Amino acid sequence: MEVNDALVQQLSDLARLEFNEQDRAEIRGDLQRMITFVEKLNELDTTNVEPLLHLTADYNVFREDRVIPSITREEGLQNAPAATPEYFEVPKVIKK
């Protein structure tokens, strides 16, 4: 695939970017190198290669979900700067 000025212009329009002529020439060269690299990868025989779902053999290990004792409401509100017997008091931040 050949990268030309029309393709660079189309991509820059889609991305809502503006480039001067020097930047456009650099981008055209970079895109051409990327496409050449991908085309080189397409030459590999991958018939017996299974697709990867993950890059490593690691997987998430989840712990058992169980209820454990916590602090009481009174202990939680004990060091609050302002609180009612049941809740933290905070300044009003939403105006009607």
16-69, pLDDT tens digit by residue?
Answer: 999 999 999 999 999 999 999 999 988 889 889 888 877 787 777 788 888 998
- pLDDT given at position 41: 85
- pLDDT given at position 30: 94
Query: What is the rounded average pLDDT of the residues 85-93?
Result: 89
- pLDDT given at position 52: 81
Domain 5-41: state its class. mainly alpha
- pLDDT given at position 31: 93
What amino acid is encoded at 35 in this protein?
I
Q: Domain extents for the chain?
A: 5-41
- pLDDT given at position 59: 76
The 10 Å CB-count burial string (b at 16+, else e) for 57-80 is: eeeeeeeeeeeeeeeeeeeebeee
